[in-house]
Chain A
Amino acid sequence: EAQVTQNPRYLITVTGKKLTVTCSQNMNHEYMSWYRQDPGLGLRQIYYSMNVEVTDKGDVPEGYKVSRKEKRNFPLILESPSPNQTSLYFCASSLRKNTEAFFGQGTRLTVV
């Protein structure tokens, strides 16, 4: 089954404790991205990747890192999480930049 898988689905952590949210797709898609969704602000792109080893900042990259060592995986790293990073996070992949995006199930992160 074609899908985008994110883990974990829910996470509560403390300020400053490094964490990684994993994202994996099995559709051989080139374009992958991370979004955060906050009430009243909609979906905002954090980082995106056009292909392996090619990543770039989205609209709200501060406090986040990503890597794309393999085509299928695109982890989101928070080196020192802060409470303002409490949000609902979505990973998405698409064949290319301007094609239908498939989203993961979402990760609800709370930083206390």
Chain B
Amino acid sequence: GQNIDQPTEMTATEGAIVQINCTYQTSGFNGLFWYQQHAGEAPTFLSYNVLDGLEEKGRFSSFLSRSKGYSYLLLKELQMKDSASYLCAVTPYGNNRLAFGKGNQVVVIP
């Protein structure tokens, strides 16, 4: 299977750094996606990791470790507009479906 686990909610202060974790149990996959979803809106793409390691894109970075079954999204210099749900997703080998985690709600406070 491709069980994907994400912690449900966290609160952080504006300007801080927050790490959002995603663990998964799957025999293999092509890559791991991260999406951002504001309340009541559609998800939007943030990153796609194929290789192990850290990929940086502005204030957001995403890390993947296939051997540890683990990914995280790092949000730096938090802004109020970063208050959203963050979803990880994978497409396992031999499978054309895209499986999402339940998402991690981040609340940014002043």
Which A residues form the contact surface with B (CB < 8 A)?
33, 35, 40-45, 48, 50, 56, 58-59, 90, 97-106
Contacts and interface: CB of A to CB of B under 8 A. Distances in A.
Contacts of B44: 103
B45 A100 contact: yes
Given A40-B102, A44-B100, 9 more contacts: A33-B98, A35-B100, A41-B102, A43-B43, A43-B87, A43-B103, A48-B97, A101-B35, A103-B42
Interface in B63-110: 87, 89, 91, 96-103
24 contacts: A33-B98, A35-B100, A40-B102, A42-B87, A42-B101, A42-B102, A42-B103, A43-B87, A43-B89, A43-B103, A58-B97, A59-B97, A59-B99, A90-B43, A98-B30, A98-B48, A98-B91, A100-B45, A101-B33, A101-B43, A103-B42, A103-B44, A104-B42, A106-B42
A48 B43 contact: no
Contacts of A100: 33, 45, 48
Given A42-B101, A42-B103, A98-B91, A90 B96 contact: no
Contacts, number: 56
Contacts of B33: 100-101
Given A41-B102, A97-B96, A103 B91 contact: no
Size class of the contact patch on chain B: 20 to 34
Nearest to A47: B97
B91 A101 contact: no
A106 B87 contact: no
Contact of B41 (A33, A41, A44, A106): A106
Among all A-B residue pairs, the 7 with the closest Cβ atoms: A42-B102, A103-B42, A43-B100, A100-B45, A98-B30, A103-B43, A58-B97
